[in-house]
């Protein structure tokens, strides 16, 4: 990492726009019969197959959302898809298609874009989605990526943010704070490298959290798990900005409050040890660190037995009547106001 890998570079100009698009997309195969027409016409055509269609889009900008000095392009391609699929799964839906639009400056070579697309392709393969189109253009500076994901669900299965009811349990998948801490480690190593380029970082003790930052996985498995357990969440959202901020969205949407217990927050041992090393409060990181791409949802209290003991799921609190009053119950049994600080505010 951090090396300026010398490669024999092919300029994008040499291919032209159409050559570039066909070169980058030729190895993608169509997997869904609902993809009637993919790349190659004025529009893609998809069949909703009698279900509801769900659409979500994200725009990622170099220097704002990603830093190519430690983000390999293949990982960037993969993560850009994950960010979008995560939103589809957060509606309890199945992701089927994506479009990918990119703007690149002449700093990028064909080989660089091949790397980006190999990550996109791996994501499409692993998550069973079709690449059905996009747009390609130049930028005066840096790289921009915009991905749109399309999913389907039966109308009655879709879960919105606004359905949480008092006494519902608040559940989170996986663990929290890893992606934020991974970013802190990468930023620190980048600075060390800038001071002394010969200093190769030793990142062995941070593999989990760095992977959480560089190669997150969207929780495709959770909608399926919930279906198998016969649990339909009353509200659901993905954790992209941080737990507090997502709880805030569910509570304002549902006109409720919540109580979340500090002792219940799921933390990986590596998150705890890295917090100690960086001298940051692990609760803060769990509440406000972004980019975990876990799912946060609420379920009727009567469904507790169905999810109890599942290693993928942790009950962290419950929904209360008190409209928009979000409380954290600390280890010392104190009640603190939760603030929706979100990812950016926390970064400062
Ligand atoms: P148009 O002139 O209609 O915008 P383009 O020449 O931009 O069409 O694109 C040709 C085809 O290639 C379309 O099907 C479009 O969706 C697809 N496409 C363009 N850029 C990309 C990209 N970066 N990734 C995937 N598909 C793309
Ligand atoms: Mg176009």
pLDDT in tens, 144-163: 999 999 999 999 999 999 99
CA of 135 from ligand 2 middle (Å) equals 4
Among 166, 171, 335, smallest CA distance to 254 is for: 166
Q: Looking at residues 277-294, what average pLDDT do you find?
A: 96
Could you report the per-residue pLDDT of 45-90, keeping only the tens digit for each?
A: 999 999 999 999 999 999 999 999 999 999 999 999 999 999 999 9
User: How many Å apart are CA 56 and CA 151, to the nearest integer?
Assistant: 9
Name the residue of 17, 120, 124, 136 whose CB sits within 8 Å of the most ligand 1 atoms, as the mutation to test its pocket: 136
Q: Which numbered ligand comes closest to the C-alpha of 43?
A: 1
Q: Which numbered ligand comes closest to the C-alpha of 134?
A: 1
pLDDT score of 339 = 79
Which two three-digit tokens encode residue 93?
Answer: 């839906």
342: left (phi over 0), alpha (psi -120 to 50) or beta: left
**Nearest ligand 1 atom to alpha carbon 99:** 25
Could you report the per-residue pLDDT of 326-343, keeping only the tens digit for each?
A: 999 999 999 999 976 544
pLDDT score of 272 = 98
- Say whether pLDDT at 346 is over 70: no
State percent of the chain over pLDDT 90.
Answer: 86
pLDDT score of 1 = 53
pLDDT score of 15 = 86
Give the gyration radius of the chain's Cα atoms: 21
**Nearest ligand 1 atom to alpha carbon 22:** 12
Q: Looking at residues 273-284, what average pLDDT do you find?
A: 96
Helices (H) and strands (E) in the chain, counts: 11, 13
Question: 346 in helix, strand or coil?
Answer: helix
CA of 145 from ligand 2 middle (Å) equals 14
* Pocket lining for ligand 1, CB < 6 angstroms: 21, 25, 39-42, 100-102, 131, 133-136
Of residues 193 and 231, more confidence is placed in: 231
Question: pLDDT-derived band of residue 198, with 50, 70 and 90 as boundaries?
Answer: confident
**Nearest ligand 1 atom to alpha carbon 17:** 6
Burial of 348 (0-12, 13-18, 19+ CB in 10 A): exposed
Name the residue of 19, 27, 135, 147 whose CB sits within 8 Å of the most ligand 1 atoms, as the mutation to test its pocket: 135
Among 302, 316, 303, 178, smallest CA distance to 246 is for: 316
CA of 163 from ligand 1 middle (Å) equals 38
Name the residue of 18, 21, 150 whose CB sits within 8 Å of the most ligand 1 atoms, as the mutation to test its pocket: 21
Question: pLDDT-derived band of residue 203, with 50, 70 and 90 as boundaries?
Answer: confident
Q: Looking at residues 311-318, what average pLDDT do you find?
A: 98
Across the beta sheet with 235-238, the strand order is 235-238, 295-299, 169-173, 313-320, 257-261, 326-329, 335-337
Supply φ then ψ for residue 99, to 5 degrees. Answer: -115, 150
Q: What is the mean pLDDT of the chain?
A: 93
Of residues 29 and 323, more confidence is placed in: 29
Of residues 194 and 96, more confidence is placed in: 96
Q: Which numbered ligand comes closest to the C-alpha of 113?
A: 1
Question: pLDDT-derived band of residue 348, with 50, 70 and 90 as boundaries?
Answer: very low
DSSP class of residue 141 equals: S
68: left (phi over 0), alpha (psi -120 to 50) or beta: alpha
Which position has the token pair 């909608």?
A: 223
Which position has the token pair 């279906």?
A: 227
**Nearest ligand 1 atom to alpha carbon 133:** 16
Beta-bridged to residue 335, according to DSSP, are: 329
DSSP class of residue 140 equals: S
pLDDT score of 300 = 98
CA of 297 from ligand 2 middle (Å) equals 38
- Say whether pLDDT at 188 is over 50: yes
Minimum CA distance residue for ligand 1 atom 24: 134
CA of 136 from ligand 2 middle (Å) equals 6
Question: pLDDT-derived band of residue 315, with 50, 70 and 90 as boundaries?
Answer: very high
CA of 42 from ligand 1 middle (Å) equals 8
Q: Which numbered ligand comes closest to the C-alpha of 100?
A: 1
Which two three-digit tokens encode residue 225?
Answer: 């798990």
pLDDT score of 5 = 52
């Amino acid at each position: 990492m951090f090396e300026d890998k010398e490669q024999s570079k092919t300029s994008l100009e040499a291919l032209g726009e159409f050559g570039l698009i066909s070169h980058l997309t030729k190895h993608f195969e169509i997997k869904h019969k609902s993809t009637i027409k993919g790349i190659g016409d004025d529009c893609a055509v998809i069949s909703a197959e009698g279900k509801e269609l769900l659409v979500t889009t994200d725009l990622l900008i170099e220097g704002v959302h990603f830093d190519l000095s430690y983000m390999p392009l293949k990982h960037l391609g993969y993560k850009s898809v994950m960010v979008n699929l995560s939103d589809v799964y957060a509606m309890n839906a199945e992701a089927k298609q994506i479009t990918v639009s990119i703007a690149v400056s002449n700093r990028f070579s064909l080989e660089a874009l091949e790397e980006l697309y190999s990550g996109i392709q791996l994501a499409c393969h692993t998550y069973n989605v079709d690449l059905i189109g996009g747009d390609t253009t130049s930028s005066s500076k840096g790289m921009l990526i915009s991905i749109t994901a399309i999913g389907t669900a039966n109308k009655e299965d879709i879960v919105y943010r606004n359905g949480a009811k008092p006494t519902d349990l608040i559940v989170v998948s996986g663990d929290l704070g890893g992606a934020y801490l991974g970013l802190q480690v990468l930023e620190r190593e980048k600075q060390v490298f800038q001071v002394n380029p010969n200093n190769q970082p030793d990142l062995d003790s941070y593999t989990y959290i760095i992977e959480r930052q560089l190669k997150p996985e969207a929780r495709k498995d959770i909608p399926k798990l919930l279906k198998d357990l016969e649990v339909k969440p009353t509200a659901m959202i993905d954790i992209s900005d941080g737990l507090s901020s997502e709880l805030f969205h569910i509570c304002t949407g549902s006109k409720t409050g919540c109580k979340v217990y500090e002792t219940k927050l799921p933390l990986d041992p590596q998150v705890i040890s890295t917090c100690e090393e960086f001298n940051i409060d692990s609760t803060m990181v769990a509440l406000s660190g972004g980019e975990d791409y876990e799912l946060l949802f609420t379920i009727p209290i009567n469904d507790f037995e169905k999810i109890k003991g599942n290693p993928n799921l942790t009950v962290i609190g419950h929904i209360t009547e008190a409209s928009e009053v979000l409380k954290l119950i600390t280890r010392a049994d104190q009640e603190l106001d939760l603030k929706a600080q979100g990812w950016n505010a926390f970064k400062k």
